[in-house]
């Protein structure tokens, strides 16, 4: 009944697959695990390739990096069961009833999101920003996520009917990291499908350094503007994305250049804090707003 789809990039998924097989076998359900490596380094290819000999597991390789959206679409096309469970590769199953909770929830919704979990222990300094962001912004209880379910949707850990996925799929024009889940959640809404959130997290094991995460964040912001051009209800989209809403207010008040001058004064302090062992999320928000003001300051001129 369940196809577990995992795209891999520079990650050892042997323990993850072992844990998933153990839970699925205990449940006695029909299942498959499809792994698709998106041109990882040779060492990871060697570690993961042996999983192809595991019962119910299929291991595939992509020899040129295609990106998250393309990989997920390929995984779905290979799946044979009516429900798809997507998860990121840098995850860990920390609850013995993880698959059981999804199987029990499937009759109640067509799309189910399980959420995030992060270690309590702080990682090394160079990885703290991504960890802190996850703990403070992504570890959100289902009760809160269900208040605005489609805008709270994440592709990190979710189940979807294959029929629904085949109707929508991931938009392959979005490049790199960020906000493919925002667009997917909106497209679900346009098809009259509301995401159901449950408390069924996977643990995200942070692999991105602070500088890498800052670059990923910039890419995600660029993707927001690609999505803006695609959505029908543009005003609602702006109001639903806090960063865009704040930027629009600055534009309406002709304060973009004022903000850029303000940020330039405090830039070194902000960056020093974000790279420190105790990054502040309000400084991270200032960093994102500065990027949007610098890179997209002419956005207002092209709005309808």
pLDDT higher than 50, residue 222 = yes
Domains, the chain, in order of start with CATH, read 2-208 (3.90.550.10), 214-302 (no CATH)
Asked if 157 and 113 touch (Cβ cutoff 8 Å), the reply is yes
- pLDDT value of residue 176: 64
Average pLDDT over residues 65-75: 91
Quick one: tokens of 204? 């995200």
Distances (CA, A) of 59 to 35, 49, 51, 75: 5, 6, 7, 11
Query: What percent of the chain is modeled with pLDDT above 90?
Result: 82
Average pLDDT over residues 192-199: 97
Q: Dihedral through CA 207, CA 211, CA 212, CA 213, nearest 10?
A: 80
Higher pLDDT: 207 or 218? It is 218
- pLDDT value of residue 247: 94
- pLDDT value of residue 8: 95
pLDDT in tens, 78-93: 999 999 999 999 999 9
pLDDT in tens, 116-162: 999 999 999 999 999 999 999 999 999 999 999 999 999 999 999 99
Banded pLDDT at 111 (limits 50, 70, 90): very high
pLDDT higher than 80, residue 239 = yes
pLDDT higher than 50, residue 304 = no
- pLDDT value of residue 172: 85
Highest mean pLDDT among 11-20, 175-184, 249-258: 11-20
Measured distance CA(51)–CA(277) in Å, rounded: 37
pLDDT higher than 90, residue 234 = no
pLDDT higher than 50, residue 113 = yes
- pLDDT value of residue 302: 44
Burial of 165 by CB count in 10 Å (0-12 exposed, 13-18 middle, 19+ buried)? buried
Banded pLDDT at 303 (limits 50, 70, 90): low
Asked if 113 and 155 touch (Cβ cutoff 8 Å), the reply is no
pLDDT in tens, 270-300: 999 999 999 999 999 999 999 999 998 777 5
The owner of tokens 């979990």 is: 117
- pLDDT value of residue 183: 87
């Amino acid at each position: 009944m369940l196809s577990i789809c995992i795209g891999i990039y520079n990650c050892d998924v042997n323990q993850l697959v072992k844990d998933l097989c153990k839970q699925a076998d205990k449940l006695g359900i029909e299942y498959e695990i499809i792994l698709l490596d998106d041109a990882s380094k040779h060492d990871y290819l060697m570690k993961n390739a042996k999983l192809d000999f595991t019962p119910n597991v299929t291991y595939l390789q992509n020899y040129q990096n295609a990106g998250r959206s393309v990989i997920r679409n390929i995984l779905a096309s290979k799946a044979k069961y009516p429900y798809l469970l997507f998860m990121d590769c840098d995850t860990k199953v920390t609850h013995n009833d993880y698959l059981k909770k999804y199987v029990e929830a499937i009759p109640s919704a067509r799309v189910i999101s399980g959420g995030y979990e992060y270690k309590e222990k702080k990682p090394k300094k160079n990885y703290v920003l991504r960890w802190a962001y996850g703990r403070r912004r992504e570890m959100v209880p289902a009760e809160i996520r269900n208040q605005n379910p489609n805008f709270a949707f994440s592709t990190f850990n979710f189940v979807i009917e294959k029929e629904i996925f085949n109707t929508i799929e991931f938009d392959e024009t979005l490049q790199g990291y960020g906000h493919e889940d925002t667009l997917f959640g909106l497209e679900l809404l346009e098809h009259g499908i509301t995401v159901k959130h449950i408390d069924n997290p996977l643990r995200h094991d942070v692999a991105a350094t602070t500088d890498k995460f800052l670059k990923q964040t910039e890419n995600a912001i660029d993707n927001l503007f690609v999505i803006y051009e695609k959505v029908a209800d543009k005003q609602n989209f702006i109001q639903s994305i806090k960063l865009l809403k704040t930027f629009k207010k600055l534009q309406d008040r002709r304060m973009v250049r004022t903000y850029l001058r303000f940020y330039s004064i405090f830039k070194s302090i902000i960056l020093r804090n974000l790279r420190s062992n105790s990054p502040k999320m309000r400084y991270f928000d200032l960093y994102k707003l500065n990027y949007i003001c610098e890179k997209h300051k002419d956005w207002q001129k092209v709005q309808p």
